[in-house]
Amino acid sequence: PLIGNYGVPSEEKNEYGFSKNYESEDIHVRGIIVSTESRDYSHFTAVSSLHEWMVHHKIPGISGIDTRALTKKLRETGVMLGRIVQDDGVLSDERRAKSIEDPNEQNLVADVSCTDVMTYEPKKEDFPMGAVKSIIAYDCGIKRNILRSWLKRGVTVHRVPWDYALATSTLKYDGLFISNGPGDPKKCDKTIDQIKWALSKNIPTFGICLGNQLLALAIGGDTYKLKYGHRGVNQPCLLWEAGKPTKKCIITSQNHGFAVDGTKLPAGWQTWFTNANDGTIEGIRHESGKFFSVQFHPEATPGPEDANYLFDEFLKIL
């Protein structure tokens, strides 16, 4: 398929002070591989081509690749490490022999998290009486539409670094939110410790994506790396009730390579959602209803909004 037809939108800010068109403040992709790249673009929000945008942000890319064959190879062998090489013939023996760095060996969350506390308030014209509730949101790589999803519901969001200490916090909040993020959840030991503290204080807690894995680890559960990660906006998830799957299925947006081990959940915790394709755990919930998390993205962008109601579910218990 052609990549770049729509071009790239501007980096203008919205009324809350963060990007209007992007889901992150920085570009985190390390390289782009495509079959066919279009340098001609057409969209009313576009200000540059994908090529120009990549050059500006110094992102390497390569086109003319048989991405269908590459996809088949990944489908057969699972996730693989790789590198983009301009000309294999000029690669030095030393460089060729050097092993490819596995990003999952690093604490990627520490690289993408904010470094200071940032507070976002809902618009006064929408909520003249002030915020409905307030939450602390652990930024493990938080998407901007998660912030928008809370703010449009009248919730004040205190966005904090991944290692923010709750015990000494002076912030006023009604609940704890753990965001999405990259890499191996077991590298985020400091975030896990803070979730444990919040649970011990009976603070309502909601996690998304990586937040689902971190909550599982905080309660004594386990996670593992998937052979095939879930990537896409059409992942079907079955809702569970009373320990059994129901006939209700929602279509979700997902982007993760690790999953929660459903056999290691402690007493009082239940499977909440499972993937209809491979049966992996897509959500967990405590029997009290005050602590829960999902592996998918209810905020979408991109993707379906079937699970958007989960923000309201959490708001009800605050």
Pick the last residue of a domain from 56, 74, 101: 101
Enclosing domain of residue 59: 2-101
Q: How many folded domains does the chain comprise?
A: 2
Q: Per-residue pLDDT tens for 96-147?
A: 667 788 888 999 999 999 999 999 999 989 898 888 999 999 999 999 999 9
282 shares a domain with 177? yes
Q: Is the model more confident about 179 or about 26?
A: 179
> What is the pLDDT, as a whole number, of residue 97?
67
SS3 95: helix
Concerning whether 297 is annotated as a catalytic residue, the answer is: yes
CATH number of the domain encompassing residue 23: 3.50.30.20
Pick the last residue of a domain from 46, 68, 101: 101
pLDDT of 88 higher than 70: no
Average pLDDT of 167-184? 98
254-288 burial: b if 16+ Cβ within 10 Å, else e: bbbbbbbebebbeeebbbbbbbeeeebbbbbbbee
240 shares a domain with 94? no
pLDDT band at 273 (very low <50, low <70, confident <90, very high): very high
Q: Per-residue pLDDT tens for 30-85?
A: 999 999 999 999 999 999 999 999 999 999 999 999 999 999 999 899 989 988 88
Backbone phi, psi, residue 315, to 5°: -60, -35
Q: Per-residue pLDDT tens for 282-316?
A: 999 999 999 999 999 999 999 999 999 999 999 99
28-51 burial: b if 16+ Cβ within 10 Å, else e: eeeebebeebbeebeeeebeebbb
131 shares a domain with 248? yes
123 shares a domain with 270? yes
Tokens of 172: 């006023």
Burial of 230 (0-12, 13-18, 19+ CB in 10 A): buried
Q: Per-residue pLDDT tens for 63-75?
A: 999 999 999 999 8
Concerning whether 114 is annotated as a catalytic residue, the answer is: no
pLDDT of 207 higher than 90: yes
> What is the pLDDT, as a whole number, of residue 83?
85
> What is the pLDDT, as a whole number, of residue 189?
98
Q: Write down the catalytic residue from 230, 256, 286, 297.
A: 297
pLDDT band at 1 (very low <50, low <70, confident <90, very high): low
157 shares a domain with 93? no
113 shares a domain with 82? no
Distance in angstroms (rounded) separating the CA atoms of residues 32 and 64: 12
Range list of H helices, the chain? 50-56, 67-77, 93-97, 108-112, 144-151, 189-200, 210-218, 309-317
Tokens of 299: 């905020």
Q: Write down the catalytic residue from 209, 230, 237, 282.
A: 209
CA angle at 193 for the pair 118 and 223, rounded to the nearest 5°: 105
SS3 17: coil
> What is the pLDDT, as a whole number, of residue 92?
72
Average pLDDT of 4-26? 92
Average pLDDT of 194-200? 99
Mean pLDDT (the chain) is 94
272 shares a domain with 256? yes
> What is the pLDDT, as a whole number, of residue 265?
97
pLDDT band at 2 (very low <50, low <70, confident <90, very high): confident
Concerning whether 286 is annotated as a catalytic residue, the answer is: no
